[in-house]
Structure 1
């Protein structure tokens, strides 16, 4: 068969359902082969949007999201989305076309070394030179993208190679099982936990993957140890749990930081240091850290595990629980779990977090305050509905205020942190979970970065909601400039008429005029099932100082 046909058959063999992207001249053979496949091609309006869609598809489906571009400018347009997926540990394959392989050594039209460009933002990438190697290259790409920690991979297919003949079949994927945790390290971890005076459980992005959440909840419930999560660990333990201190990750503005500072033992589970630097909570290097993750810990001055357990997280958690029970039987004096009484500091932290959020339940001021906006959105959504945050000041408010009950229902990009993520991401979320309400939260700057994908959403008849937080400013940058320099510069802009903008694409637009009408508009928007809805609302960001200087910090 033709090499491009073989490539597509290999993708089918891997269970690929969708390819997001844009056809081009140098990927034409691949696109034609794809048109004969059961794989659905989703035409996007920009390659960056395609990469963000593949990113979110990978997060929510557990499979590899696939995006496609041609050579040169098509490939460079993928870069931001691919880098975002890689740093957020999302499973993604980027496929790019290329000019004829005999032209690659010299100047030629749109020729650019995409392999070198993608190298620092992927786990692995390769350019196909022999069509007989396609099954090996595709299988290897998927294996690497899926193995912990997952991430992005890239394959380049030159147009002359795509036309050649190949007579080798795809390689069948094999499920890989990791071994259980080391028995001696489990014993050491259990002993440290039993002897701890103020242990805490610190949960990160790794806990969202591989169905670890239920095992971690069991650890929290059976031991009574207080837990907290990073932005990307939201929902691993429900925010309704009395043993959960919510989200940490905004440096001095975090209530949860008080708890982790008071801890003598930190059980760090699935924590990516890219999310939140240990320097913020282990400045004195006085914490006993138990590292539990799929991979060894990063080497970092402020993160020095005394025990490092490398295995599937769920295996490790279950083994620790079994060992705690065993040691309690053999050493009755160590029968300290479950902890009977939550420490007073932790009680006070939880009380103040809840009180501050709930104090805005009936706030009618307009422009709407961030807390009230998030409360109204939370009230409008079910436990398993999905909220996607873009990047900006609203991301910090969402992390602090939005109550999350299940993993992967509040998606906050917090590794690469690219603006423009949420809207195209919501398209993929609706494709993966058409039965759920999907809400993208965007600043008025980030929303317009990928506004062209509104046409994609309308064409696909996808009913989801985008809420645009309007303040005519790059709010987060403006806030930090004022905090450091006393003024902000070059951050102000104007906005379009969002109703006309939405309608010009064939979508539905609302502009909220009062805080009281916002919940009613949300309900009206939820009832629209066959087209995207844009809701623009003016937000009072005067309280952003709370994010950097928490008035409740000193307890």
Structure 2
């Protein structure tokens, strides 16, 4: 068979269901081989959108997400989405074409060292130089990409290699079981927790993978210990659980820090420093930390755990739960955690019933989104000022029902991501909250959504400037540089792209507009004018909080 046929068979053997991408001449053999396979190819309008789609698909399903581009500009267009998926811990496989081996040694049209370019943003990057190596390369790439911590792997397939004849077969998929923590270490953790007076849990991205959240919920329920969640750990605890302390991770001091200050032991579960560096919450290095994760702790002067529990998170938490069940829960002083939860509930309720016209407060917009979405519905957030409001105010009932890019933090993910989210969960309603800056980064994927009939809703917060940068500059300098821009006629854009459109200038009408959009079969957009005067009001208020409750 041709090498490209073998490559596709290897992908089928690994359980690949679809590939997102934009092919080029150098992918021609691969695309013809794909035509006769069980794998669906989703044609996108930009390679970056394809990478975001594959990343979100992998993050939601736990299966390998796959994207494809050609050599040169196709590969460079992919790389931002790939870097984003890698740092957000999505299992992701990237396939790029390349010029023939016979011209790679010299200056040649569109040829660049793509393998080297991808090494800093992937777990592994490799070129296929011999067709017989394809089964091993594909097997290794998928195994590495799906192993904890998940990430991206890249394979380059040159045009002449793809057309070569080969006699080989796919390898068996490799999904090795993760090692588990030693029981003696769990005993140490339990002794430390029994001796604690006011322990606290910080749950990170790892806590919502591989069944870990179920065991975390059991631990919190049995002991009463509350858990703060990072942006990418939302849903580790149900928002209605009294032990749920909501979200930590704002760039400035916020009320959750007061609960951290009151804790004598901090148990981190799946904590990932790419989201929220320990210098933000442990600046004086005073916290006694227990680290539980799939990997050893990052060497950081602000994060020096007293105990490191390395291995499968769900298993480690299960062993800890066995000890709680055996010995009973200790008596703790968790009053600071109760005060934090009550304080944040009051924050969420403020302005939730606004009926202002002309501009809608972020708090009201978030409250209405939460009101119209069911527990299992999926919300995606872009990057900008809206991300901070979603992160702080939107809370989840279940893991993976609020997707925020908080590792690499690239703009442009939610629109293509929503398309893939619908593929990953076809019976679930999907909404994306985007800024007017964010959506324009990949606005061309509106055509992809229309062509596919994607049943998604996009809520655009319009302020006609890069709001987060303005917010940051105003915090630091008291004013901001010119960050304004113009927007398209949203109604005309939606008509041209065959999308349903609604403009909603009045806060009182927002829930009805959102429900209408969600009920519409196909892609829908709701545009609201956002009142970002609330940004600095929040900054000034948080700047006045005390050290303790």
Q: Same fold (TM over 0.5)?
A: yes
Aligned residue runs from structure 1 range 381-400, under 5 A: 381-400=373-392
| Residue in 2 that maps onto 1:238 | 238
| Residue in 2 that maps onto 1:331 | none
Residue 528 of structure 1: how far off its partner (Å): 1.0
**Contact kept? 1:253, 1:547, Cα under 8 Å:** no
SS in 1 for 2:54: helix
| Residue in 2 that maps onto 1:201 | 201
| Residue in 1 that maps onto 2:268 | 268
Once the two structures are superposed, what CA deviation does each residue of 1:407-454 show, in whole Å capped at 9, x if it has no partner? 000001100000001110000001111211100100000101100000
**Contact kept? 1:252, 1:550, Cα under 8 Å:** no
| Residue in 1 that maps onto 2:526 | 535
Residue 378 of structure 1: how far off its partner (Å): 0.7
Aligned residue runs from structure 1 range 464-475, under 5 A: 464-475=456-467
**Contact kept? 2:434, 2:458, Cα under 8 Å:** yes
SS in 1 for 2:458: strand
Aligned residue runs from structure 1 range 154-553, under 5 A: 154-326=154-326, 328=327, 337=329, 339=331, 342-343=334-335, 345-366=336-357, 367-529=359-521, 531-551=522-542, 553=545
Structure 1: how far apart are the matches of 2:108 and 2:174?
Answer: 40
1:315–1:276 Cα change, 3 Å:
same
Once the two structures are superposed, what CA deviation does each residue of 1:373-420 show, in whole Å capped at 9, x if it has no partner? 011111111000000000011111011111211000000110000000
Q: Which moved more, 1:478-487 or 1:73-82?
A: 478-487
Structure 2: how far apart are the matches of 1:92 and 1:506?
Answer: 31
Residue 522 of structure 1: how far off its partner (Å): 1.0
| Residue in 1 that maps onto 2:77 | 77
Residue 365 of structure 1: how far off its partner (Å): 1.5
Residue 211 of structure 1: how far off its partner (Å): 1.6
SS in 2 for 1:450: coil
Structure 2: how far apart are the matches of 1:513 and 1:541?
Answer: 14
| Residue in 2 that maps onto 1:64 | 64
Once the two structures are superposed, what CA deviation does each residue of 1:92-119 show, in whole Å capped at 9, x if it has no partner? 0110000001111110010011011100
**Contact kept? 1:225, 1:339, Cα under 8 Å:** no
**Contact kept? 2:5, 2:30, Cα under 8 Å:** yes
Residue 508 of structure 1: how far off its partner (Å): 1.1
1:12–1:547 Cα change, 3 Å:
farther
After superposition, the CA RMSD in angstroms is: 1.2
Residue 547 of structure 1: how far off its partner (Å): 4.8
Residue 340 of structure 1: how far off its partner (Å): 6.6
Structure 2: how far apart are the matches of 1:505 and 1:284?
Answer: 53
Residue 341 of structure 1: how far off its partner (Å): 6.0
Residue 280 of structure 1: how far off its partner (Å): 1.6
Structure 1: how far apart are the matches of 2:325 and 2:214?
Answer: 19
Once the two structures are superposed, what CA deviation does each residue of 1:488-524 show, in whole Å capped at 9, x if it has no partner? 1131011111111011011111111311121111111
Structure 1: how far apart are the matches of 2:485 and 2:331?
Answer: 53
**Contact kept? 1:253, 1:548, Cα under 8 Å:** no
| Residue in 1 that maps onto 2:47 | 47
What stretches of structure 2 of length at least 5 have no aligned partner?
none
Structure 1: how far apart are the matches of 2:261 and 2:408?
Answer: 26
| Residue in 2 that maps onto 1:31 | 31
Once the two structures are superposed, what CA deviation does each residue of 1:475-499 show, in whole Å capped at 9, x if it has no partner? 0001111222222113101111111
**How many correspondences in the alignment?**
545
Residue 39 of structure 1: how far off its partner (Å): 0.3
Structure 1: how far apart are the matches of 2:515 and 2:251?
Answer: 35
SS in 1 for 2:441: helix
